[in-house]
Amino acid sequence: MLEYNRRNDPWPFHIDEAAARQAPFGGIIASGGFTLTLMYRLGHGLYNTPERRWAFLGGFDWHVKFPTPGKAGDVLRYRSTVLSKRPSSKPGRGVVKAQTTLTNQRGEVVLEVEAALLLATRPEGALPL
């Protein structure tokens, strides 16, 4: 986390313990970019396995919230909920509206993302990959 913060988001509350203690969070917190990266990695591990593979084509209309800062030592839980789905105007594609949350070990939401995802669809009657 610190290495990511130093390279990509070097605000004092992300990299300097003394400065971070003076900030409203009381200590060093994860960069939002780092937290989003964790969400991507956790999701990739769930949706891209030999038994199941999402054919992700793109994401749009993102709504991102960081209600509670992530901190070193947090244990994060990933949850994704499909809110709606519909065929795209282009054949072989579908649009899924999904909400993904990361919660810490205290059940606090660290990240919430609601987005529309463009996915390739399976041919009618085809088995999942």
What global pTM score does this model have?
0.85
Q: Structural domains in the chain?
A: 2-120 (3.10.129.10)
Tell me the pLDDT band of 129, cut-offs 50, 70 and 90.
Answer: low
Task: Report the C-alpha gap between 118 and 121 in whole angstroms.
Answer: 9
Distances (CA, A) of 70 to 2, 54, 81, 89, 103: 12, 28, 21, 39, 9
Segment 74-117, tens digit of pLDDT: 999 999 999 999 999 999 999 999 999 999 999 999 999 999 99
